[in-house]
Structure 1
Amino acid sequence: MAEAENREAFRIQRFYCEKMDAPIYARLCGAIAAGLTRDSRTGARVLDWPGEPTRDALPLRLVGGLHALVRAGAEAGLAAVFRGEIVDEGAIVAALNAALIAHDDTLWPWLDGPPQTNEPGRSGALMLGLLEVARRHGPRLEVLEIGSSAGLNLLIDRYRFDLGGTVVGPADAAVTIRPDWTGEAPAPVPLDIVSVRGCDIRPLDATDPGVEARLAAYVWAETPARGERLGTAIAMQRARGVDLVRADAADWIEARLAEPQAAGVTRVLMHSVVWQYLPGATADRIRAAMTAAGARATPERPLGWVMMEPDRAFAHQLVRVRSWPGHDGWTLLATAHAHGTWIRHGIADEDQRRFALPESATVDAG
């Protein structure tokens, strides 16, 4: 039973890859689902995975390890698959299983932890939410991010954004995030991010060369521009670090919400593609803490919550915002590509109802 469920997780990932215009990775995930064998320890571990494979992002763990081999020049046969030169499923299966046997010890540890897909492009969707909070409550924001991973979205105040023609951020920024835009541009409003802090249960130091290589392995081979942007963002961290600490998300948020809040500054929780990884008790504590803090919020000291989290049924991300006082119900601002490649802004009333889900996430699209 476990093997069937684990193979199905790769078919689900193939569906997401197809939706995100990633045919190479779609073919690879389909081949893994169809032809992965037990001839390697790693292959057997994948097929016998004891957890919930989609929730655990099992496909992305394995594919990240395979891409790392290719990037290191260690696997010529598999490299042709990642370049899109091999498209026949049988040939992909043969190259895959051969690589697993040849590099079993190297690939095994890639299954030990969840993928680190803290993608700078997601900051575009998060910025859309921050602009909405600023429109409601004023320009000055104190930003708190959970699940910060390597802290790439903690650079949100240093990136420049072009959101459908609305430009935000420093003119001399090393990184400009310009997603393909559908719908009206957000209304330009004054924005002053006074601080950005983040936490992660297992934070990564992106400035470490080994960590940088690992992060690069999780960038899909079909999107080299993402890889270039990742390198530039990491260089920005080397020039000036980010405020990122190791902490349980609920412990950290409860502590941050208990701190004194300056008048005229909105405190904002933000996160992207992290909610699914939180234990249920942790998520419940964060909801409770935000609800309690929201009840205490005043026009002088408002509270906001911005998230970009995936929706399994529609295979893309939902960008939602709520804030206190006065806007405590969730508003769906947009749908987005998992890597922030595109944003569809403006949701009709019927779609607001269709997407009216609790603040949960069901799958990591990568």
Structure 2
Amino acid sequence: MNPIWSVGLMTGTVLDGNIDVALLKTDGERIETFGAYALVPYDAPIRPMLEEAQAAARVWNFEGPEPAIFAEAEAALTRAQSAAVKKVVEEAGMTMAEIGVVGFHGQTVLHRGPQKGRPGDTRQLGDGALMQSILGTKVVYDFRTADIRAGGQGAPLAAVYHAALLGTAGAHGDSAILNLGGVGNVTWWDGKGDIVAFDTGPANAPINDFIKARGLGEMDRDGALGAAGKVDEARLAKLLEHPYLAAPFPKSLDRFDFTAAMADGLSDEDGAALLTAFSASCVGKALDLLPRRPKTLFVSGGGRHNPTFMAMLTSRAGVDAVSADKLGWRGDAVEAECFAFLAVRALRGLPISFPSTTGVPKPMTGGRIAG
């Protein structure tokens, strides 16, 4: 297959009110061209609707009929993301006729990895058929369900795209990619065939929720609060005893598996410092589980904008943390690019998840195709 233009869409679990839209020209194995990238804000009513859906999902917990808010939020976000695709494509001087496929991740409202005696489950809001009817181009969506149904974790799915990026950087197992979204995930590739990926632990979600709950804004901007605080080392050590952190991969998390309650009773500064130190220390524990501990982490996602978090990766995770942007990658765009890449792989029937990334019994493709 010749490389085609694909659009990738991503909205993270931190619900920052934005849609990541990235264009990528790829055959699903190699990256030919990085196209336009934009952060497109949702219209004002959509974000609280998604927050309501996320809260309702936790009460629902995969039991009984879905909350009514799901259908309303799904239609609204699908229309908004379709409009965002059109806007970014047109502003790049292209038409939808030049786009071969759209990779539509949707909004995760609940994710549960499989445990002993209990299958996993996952729910992303996103109506691929509706988007296809609006845009008139093929849409790949619902990327995670097939993996979960086959006994996998359903996450992380970025590994095969991360490996393609690491290949452009000449990786040989001494480096890895860390994405810091609501949850952290790491991908290690030996430069030959073995890819390992899993969720490291929380990343931005508890910090952001803590800041919001204290009425201090949306996030610890520039890591200022965390830098001003003192880490309660005894409390941190206790938190680091959580069994998830020592569990072997494959493994995955929901963004609410670790919450801001870890910092209850602390001052604003000390709470931010503790939560940042915990997320960074979780990465260190994750690196110890890899086949070879990398010396360098190329960091993508919103967390790389927090200099306190980045410094703590060095001091507490014992690794050289480098922003993905320093390699010429677009650190904010990596996840959206990933779903553009995975959409092309889905069209070709190529695997998007592997035994060493999600725990599926064998490499398997995924995603539903509309159009």
The answer to whether TM tops 0.5 is no
Q: Which has the higher contact order (CA 8 A, sep 6+)?
A: 2
TM-score (norm 2): 0.27
| Larger radius of gyration between Structure 1 and Structure 2 | 1
TM-score (norm 1): 0.27
